[in-house]
């Protein structure tokens, strides 16, 4: 099966994203990045290690470099200081040095933490991303946002630190639970909704193939999403402007994740529902027509993503949205759609957010149990 490569054009920090089936076993993809490495430290987790680590180890063996393996507990709850410190502890004990190449083998949690460890360890060592979830292949592994959660906020501690390469093996997505694949589709739909109407139409036509993890469709989806993200990151690496558009659905989505408690809904599920709400807000503010909103909602539902907002209480949403990283002096900023394929960031009033939430059934301050699969 052919390999396709998308370049992230960032001058001295430029890197390739290799996309295709069975790529993790290919020694030739690692080799160019390992030439100056003294050793390799592969960071993975307890779920991914038994599935894929042996194949990566076999491919890395061709380099003849010493391999250190660090296996983390699985889960967003472990994306914190304690786990980061455990990575540093194991690197130091194994005498990893400034020329050690870190490799992140796993989903966005492993990728974000390994990237942050690479940014900090001995003031910066190189790292390679091997994203094994759809969400990580189309979003988390690309663009150099790394970090951990803080008790007071998600992804609040981190660094921009670009990898040396991304190796996205789409065949590995077959072992991903369907719910996780659908959560990844949310970020694929997001990318199309903000930047490429033709891609959006393509996803509409391919949604069943994508849900079934059809290889050809999956490679195409990852390629097109990565091309868009690579273009945006190359234009605005540090999110001073257009990169913020990648946060479409995230202002409501982060409020849902935090409001329900992290882990209740997957990140992609919260973003899916957040996009439905942000599209509704876009219509109310006069930016988007109703037909486009309904089309987005239909596609989200076809991807088995929740579109009804959990009734956390409008005041709780507003509170949480005010602590979003895009908020400025308490002013909420939201990404809204002008049409399918074009977005903009705009300040929004509390009153407009309240009207939108209330129209979407969020009026009480009570929290109940919310299963995203019935939303
Ligand atoms: P995740 O890393 O928790 O992975 C989801 C689950 O799938 C985990 O249990 C994992 O062990 C398992 N898994 C991974 N690959 C598998 C495979 N091939 N087969 C079977 N199981 C597999 O979650 P995620 O959705 O990949 O990432 C979410 C994280 O990414 C969040 O912390 C979010 O903040 C972060 N994120 C970062 C960025 C960024 O730009 N850095 C962008 C989006 C999201
Ligand atoms: N996930 C949004 C970004 O990378 O900017």
**What pLDDT, in 10s, does the model give residues 19-74?**
999 999 999 999 999 999 999 999 999 999 999 999 999 999 999 999 999 999 99
From the CB of 147, is ligand 2 less than 6 Å away?
A: no
pLDDT over 70 (residue 373) = no
pLDDT reading at 246 higher than 80? yes
- In this structure, the number of other CB atoms found within 10 A of the CB of residue 367 comes to 14
Pairing type for strands 100-106 and 342-348 reads unpaired
For ligand 1, mutation pick of 21, 23, 24, 47 (most atoms within 8 Å of CB): 47
Identify whether the C-beta of residue 140 lies closer than 8 Å to the C-beta of residue 131: yes
The pLDDT assigned to 93 comes to 98
What confidence tier does 365 reach under pLDDT thresholds 50, 70, 90? low
- Can you list the alpha helix ranges (DSSP code H) found in the chain? 27-34, 48, 54-61, 81-93, 108-120, 134-135, 178-195, 197-211, 215-235, 250-260, 267-284, 290-302, 314-322, 350-359
Boundary (domain end) residue, out of 157, 175, 193: 175
Cβ atoms 193, 341 nearer than 8 A: yes
> How many Cβ atoms are within 10 Å of 61's Cβ, its own excluded?
11
Task: Count how many domains the chain has.
Answer: 2
Instruction: Report the percent of the chain where pLDDT is more than 70.
Output: 97
* Torsion angles phi and psi, residue 63, rounded to 5: -80, -20
CA–CA distance, 26 with 69 (Å, rounded to integer):
19
Range of the domain at 240: 178-374
Residues 284 and 324 in one domain: yes
> What's the chain's average pLDDT?
94
Structure tokens at 373: 């699969």
Residue 154: predicted pLDDT: 81
| pLDDT tens-digit map of 320-358 | 998 777 777 778 999 999 999 999 999 999 999 999 999
The answer to whether residues 46 and 161 belong to one domain is: yes
Distance, CA of 273 to CA of 305 (rounded, Å): 7
pLDDT digits (tens, 9 = 90+) for 177-233: 999 999 999 999 999 999 999 999 999 999 999 999 999 999 999 999 999 999 999
Q: What is the pLDDT of residue 152?
A: 77
Who's near 356: CB < 8 A, 6+ residues apart? 277, 280, 281, 284
Six-digit token string for 209: 């193939």
Quick one: which of 168, 275, 272 has its CA closest to 219? Answer: 168
Q: What distances in angstroms separate CA 365 from CA 176, 199, 317, 353, 358, one per listed residue? A: 35, 39, 10, 15, 11
Question: In this predicted structure, what is the pLDDT of residue 323?
Answer: 79
Domain boundary among 175, 198, 225: 175
Q: Please check whether residues 213 and 295 belong to one and the same domain.
A: yes
The pLDDT of 281-299, averaged and rounded, is 98
- Of 175, 193, 210, which one is at a domain's C-terminal end? 175
Model confidence at 366: pLDDT above 70? no
Ligand 1 mean position to 219 CA, how many Å? Answer: 18
Mean pLDDT of 361-372: 64
pLDDT at 369 over 60: no
Which ligand minimizes its atom distance to the CA of 254?
1
Tell me the HSE value of 323 on the side-chain side, using a 13 A CA sphere.
Answer: 16
The reply to whether 169 and 187 lie within a common domain is: no
141-162 residue pLDDT tens: 999 999 998 877 788 899 999 9
| Catalytic positions, written as ranges | 123, 145, 187, 229, 239, 243, 247, 250, 254, 267
Question: Do 190 and 163 reside in the same domain of the chain?
Answer: no
On whether both 185 and 168 belong to a single domain, the answer is no
pLDDT tens string 107-145: 999 999 999 999 999 999 999 999 999 999 999 999 999
Q: Which two tokens stand for residue 58?
A: 């076999």
Report the CATH number that the domain containing residue 125 is assigned in CATH. 3.40.50.1970
Q: What pLDDT, on the 0 to 100 scale, is given for residue 328?
A: 76
Give 268 Cα–ligand 1 centroid separation in angstroms.
10
CATH number at residue 230: 1.20.1090.10
What are the DSSP calls for 76-109, one per residue?
A: GGG-SHHHHHHHHHHHHHTT--TTEEEEEEESHH
For residue 139 and ligand 2, the question of a CB distance below 6 A is answered with yes
pTM: 0.95
Same domain, 162 and 54: yes
- The tokens describing 27, both together, are 């020694």
The pLDDT assigned to 324 comes to 75
């Amino acid at each position: 099966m052919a390999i396709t490569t998308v370049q992230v054009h960032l001058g001295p920090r430029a890197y390739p994203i290799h996309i295709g089936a069975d790529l993790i076993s290919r020694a030739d993809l690692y080799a160019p990045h390992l030439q100056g490495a003294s050793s390799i430290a592969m960071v993975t987790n307890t779920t991914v290690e038994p599935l894929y680590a042996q194949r990566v180890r076999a491919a890395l063996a061709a380099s003849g470099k010493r391999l250190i393996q660090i296996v983390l507990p699985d889960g967003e709850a472990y994306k914190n200081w304690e786990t980061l410190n455990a990575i540093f502890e194991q690197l130091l004990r194994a005498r990893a040095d400034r020329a050690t190449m870190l490799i992140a083998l796993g989903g966005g949690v492993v990728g974000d933490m390994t990237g942050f460890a690479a940014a900090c360890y001995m003031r910066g060592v190189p790292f390679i991303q091997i994203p094994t979830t759809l969400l990580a292949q189309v979003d988390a592994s690309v663009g150099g946002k790394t970090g951990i959660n803080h008790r007071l906020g998600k992804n609040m501690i981190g660094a921009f630190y670009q990898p040396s390469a991304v190796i996205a093996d789409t065949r590995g997505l077959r072992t991903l639970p369907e719910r996780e694949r659908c959560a990844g589709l949310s970020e694929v739909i997001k990318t199309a909704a903000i930047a490429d109407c033709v891609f959006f139409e393509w996803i509409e036509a391919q949604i069943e193939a994508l849900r079934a993890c059809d290889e050809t469709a999956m490679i195409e989806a990852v390629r097109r999403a990565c091309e868009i993200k690579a273009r945006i990151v190359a234009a605005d690496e540090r999110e001073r402007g257009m990169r913020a558009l990648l946060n479409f659905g995230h202002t409501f989505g982060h409020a849902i994740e935090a409001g329900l408690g992290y882990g209740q809904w997957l990140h992609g599920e919260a973003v899916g529902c957040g996009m439905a709400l942000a599209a509704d807000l876009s219509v109310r503010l006069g930016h988007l027509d109703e037909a486009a909103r309904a089309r987005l909602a239909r596609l989200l539902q076809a991807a088995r993503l929740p579109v009804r907002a959990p009734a956390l209480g409008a005041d709780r949403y507003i509170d949480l949205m005010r602590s979003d990283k895009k908020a400025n002096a308490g002013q909420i900023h939201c990404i809204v759609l002008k049409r399918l394929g074009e977005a903009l960031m705009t300040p929004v009033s509390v009153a407009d957010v309240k009207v939108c939430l209330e129209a979407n059934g969020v009026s009480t301050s009570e929290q109940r149990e919310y299963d995203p699969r019935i939303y």
